[in-house]
Amino acid sequence: MSLLQDFQNSVGSFDIAIIAATISILLGGILFGVGLGFGVRRLRLLGAEEIAQGIISAAMLGAIISFAALLSSATSSIVPAHNIPQCAQVEKPTSSPFSYYACFLSAYSSSFNRLAIHISRSSEIAGMVGTLNIKIAETSFAPFFALSSYSQQLSSLAFEMHSLSALAILELEVAFAIKDSALAFFLPAGLILRSFFATRKLGAAVMAIAVSAYLVYPLLFLHAFQSSKVLDASKEALEYTERFNQTFASIPLLDFDSPGQVKAKIGQMAQQDFSDALQPIFSTTLRAISLAKTDLIIYPLVSILVSAVAAIEFYRIFSATVFLSFIDSI
């Protein structure tokens, strides 16, 4: 869904905001007329301020819509089509920065969850191999007992991938909540509050937060996700994990009451170097985790900081006076 479609879906709320701005202009006109008729300069300036602020509120809405249209058209041209991952939860990933951001979060969640499931399977296989006991005559030994620690490490990696998948889902739900409420509720509510003198600063604050959250926050990810290697690293780790699981998937199915079958499998494992097959899983998964933490933790924190600074600047603009600053000189 594009930015303009989001505005269209919120048209009822903005109609109310425009009505409030019109009422503010009418009240300002009344105050200006009374102040002019009775020669009360303060009242005349207050009326002029309300008229100006009402006009500015309407102009701000037009400016925000124009910026949204520009940003919507720019997103589709900035983002290359080959860079878009598969994301069933987002219909048009290039329609807006938020849609592009949400698409990657959806892809991250699916990729991490799939990798975590396969790593859990690898952990089960390694754990099974680590507990194998071979009995020859009166002597028993566990040739792969050291792999028990590998099983625990793989289990930890699977848990971490599940955690990152959950974090991506959380950020995706927050993104959808902001996308659905910033224009439908907070921005028109801010316009309404800003239309009246008593609540002007509160309305400016609400508008600043809504604009920063909706338009500024996702901008960083237009660049960050284009150069991101998270999905490639996760895919590489998945390939190694699937290869390992396919090669050694028959181990839990062994008939352990058949020594010949067990010995044959152990010989096969020795030839295929079981422990060495685990090493690429660790290295590629750790790389994927490191890159994922950058995209899901570092970049959002930086974007929140930038959005906060932008919100402060927007607040100063939205709450600025036009004529009342000259009252002190009267």
Least confident of 22-31, 131-140, 156-165, 305-314: 131-140
One-character DSSP codes across 220-252: HHHHHTTS--HHHHHHHHHHHHHHHHHHHTTGG
Other C-beta atoms closer than 10 Å to the C-beta of 140 total 9
Beta carbons within 8 Å of 305's beta carbon, 6+ residues apart: none
One-character DSSP codes across 4-58: HHHHHHTHHHHHHHHHHHHHHHHHHHHHHHHHHHHT-HHHHHHHHHHHHHHHHHH
Whether residue 326 has pLDDT greater than 50: no
What sign results for the dihedral spanned by CA atoms 108, 113, 115, 116? positive
H/E stretch holding 116: helix 97-130
Looking at residues 239-254, what average pLDDT do you find?
Answer: 76
Q: Which two tokens stand for residue 302?
A: 């930086």
Question: 254 vs 171, which has greater pLDDT?
Answer: 171
Whether residue 203 has pLDDT greater than 70: yes
Q: At 91, is the secondary structure helix, strand, or coil?
A: coil
Q: At 217, is the secondary structure helix, strand, or coil?
A: coil
pLDDT at 230 (0 to 100): 93
pLDDT at 328 (0 to 100): 43
pLDDT at 330 (0 to 100): 44
pLDDT at 28 (0 to 100): 83
Residues paired with residue 111 on neighbouring β-strands, in sequence order: none
Looking at residues 1-6, what average pLDDT do you find?
Answer: 54
- In angstroms, what is the C-alpha Rg of the chain? 31
Letter for the amino acid at 327? I
Q: What is the mean pLDDT of the chain?
A: 79
pLDDT at 257 (0 to 100): 52
Q: What share of the chain is helix, strand, coil (3-state, %, to 5)?
A: 80, 0, 15
As a whole number of angstroms, the distance between CA 297 and CA 113 comes to: 18
- Tell me, rounded to whole angstroms, the distance of Cα 189 from its chain centroid: 25
Letter for the amino acid at 259? P
What sign results for the dihedral spanned by CA atoms 82, 219, 207, 210? positive
Whether residue 222 has pLDDT greater than 60: yes
- For residue 93, name the pLDDT band (cuts at 50, 70, 90): confident
Q: Where are the domains of the chain?
A: 82-320
pLDDT at 137 (0 to 100): 52
pTM for this prediction? 0.77
Least confident of 100-104, 190-194, 229-233: 190-194
Taking alpha carbons only, the member of 43, 23, 21 closest to residue 32 is: 43
Looking at residues 9-31, what average pLDDT do you find?
Answer: 73
Q: Which two tokens stand for residue 241?
A: 């994990």
Q: How far is CA 224 from CA 76, 221, 300, in A?
A: 16, 5, 10
pLDDT tens column, 28-73: 888 888 888 888 888 888 888 788 888 887 787 777 777 777 777 7
As a whole number of angstroms, the distance between CA 19 and CA 175 comes to: 30
* Furthest C-alpha separation in the chain: 116
H/E stretch holding 136: strand 134-136
One-character DSSP codes across 256-287: TT-HHHHHHHHHHHHHHTHHHHHHHHHHHHHH
pLDDT at 325 (0 to 100): 52
